[in-house]
Amino acid sequence: MIEVKNLTVAYQGKEALSNIHLTVRKGAITGIIGPNGAGKSTLLKGMIGLVPKNKGETTFEEKEIASVRKNIAYVEQRNEIDLSFPIKVEDVVLLGTFPKLGLFRRPKAAERQKVIESLKKVKMEDFAKRQIGELSGGQLQRVFIARALIQEADIILLDEPFVGIDMKSEQVIIDLLKELKMQGKTILIVHHDLSKVTDYFDDVIILNRYLVGCGPLDSTFTTENIQLAYGETMGNVLIKGVNSQ
Ligand code: ADP
Ligand code: MG
């Protein structure tokens, strides 16, 4: 179980997240939803210490999360990645072995073999030698998922993995995530398309700078909470979209 206790993050003195208290179930897929600027990305970063927090702490199985950092795979939102950097697909995936390997041990044949296996799982093995700049959005996202897989982490954090990708890639990724869940991994996904929430997630965290709700879909993904997070008018439009699926 992940526990976030009293987390507050501010940028230049302005609070992006205030006093967030929540728990994330182990072995479940949890979606993080909320309007633009709600602090969804900040929540992931604040949890694992990628942004300085003003106060609060995050624990995994009662240990401070910093002490299990190697056990967390994080795929950032795509607009935060420099795609002009010349690097091959296989080398991006290989980066995922570094947290456990340590900085000074060179990857060997075993790691290279794992790269191929991870690429196979996302159906990207034929692209190993390509430059990342040559891939479509969906292919690229699958490569980042392969990088997360090779890390063999118990906690997987993904920030908007389905934005701007094709349906095949989305299906490959979601099938894989469901398989990882069956293996007991804890998966957190920032997501903004409410129409897929009931298909993809067991639990949701609903945010709008503060915590609107957190828990299983039945009790948390409610009209009331969506209106609280998105405002009444927008909330109604979004709920119609969900119910007409
Ligand atoms: P979301 O992912 O829900 O769209 P973010 O967590 O990215 O929201 O951002 C929450 C708020 O914090 C927004 O108002 C955003 O402009 C601000 N913010 C995010 N990152 C930074 C940063 N590095 N510096 C200053 N403000 C930021
Ligand atoms: Mg974001």
pLDDT of the residue at 134? 92
User: Looking at per-residue confidence, does 1 or 240 come out higher?
Assistant: 1
Structure tokens at 216: 């299983």
Q: Is the dihedral of CA 72, 76, 81, 86 positive or negative?
A: positive
pLDDT of the residue at 205? 98
What is the CA(17)–ligand 1 centre distance, in A?
9
- For the Cβ of 42 lying below 6 angstroms from any atom of ligand 1, the answer is yes
- For the Cβ of 184 lying below 6 angstroms from any atom of ligand 1, the answer is no
pLDDT of the residue at 99? 74
Structure tokens at 231: 């405002």
- Of 57-61, 173-177, 214-218, least confident by mean pLDDT is 57-61
- Mean pLDDT across 112-125: 95
- Structure confidence by residue, pLDDT tens digits, 25-42: 999 999 999 999 999 999
Distance CA 194, CA 192 (A): 6
129 half-sphere exposure, CB direction, 13 A CA radius: 1
- For the Cβ of 17 lying below 6 angstroms from any atom of ligand 1, the answer is no
pLDDT of the residue at 82? 74
Residue 242 has pLDDT above 80, yes or no: no
- Mean pLDDT across 124-143: 94
Q: Are 154 and 71 in contact (CB under 8 A)?
A: yes
User: Which domains does the chain possess?
Assistant: 2-82+153-236 (3.40.50.300)
Residues with a beta carbon under 5 angstroms from ion ligand 2 = 40-41
- Mean pLDDT across 13-25: 95
Residue 245 has pLDDT above 70, yes or no: no
- Class of residue 4 by CB neighbours under 10 A (exposed 0-12, middle 13-18, buried 19+): buried
- Mean pLDDT across 137-156: 94
Structure tokens at 35: 């309007």
Distance CA 182, CA 191 (A): 21
What is the CA(110)–ligand 1 centre distance, in A?
39
- For the Cβ of 139 lying below 6 angstroms from any atom of ligand 1, the answer is no
Residue 8 has pLDDT above 70, yes or no: yes
- Structure confidence by residue, pLDDT tens digits, 40-54: 999 999 999 898 888
Q: Which residue has the tokens 């296989």?
A: 90
- Structure confidence by residue, pLDDT tens digits, 154-177: 999 999 999 999 999 999 999 999
Residue 192 has pLDDT above 90, yes or no: no
Residue 138 has pLDDT above 80, yes or no: yes
Distance CA 119, CA 127 (A): 8
User: Looking at per-residue confidence, does 113 or 66 come out higher?
Assistant: 113
**Hey, whose CA ends up nearest to atom 15 of ligand 1?**
37
Q: What is the pTM of this model?
A: 0.92
Residue 243 has pLDDT above 90, yes or no: no
- For the Cβ of 243 lying below 6 angstroms from any atom of ligand 1, the answer is no
**Hey, whose CA ends up nearest to atom 14 of ligand 1?**
37
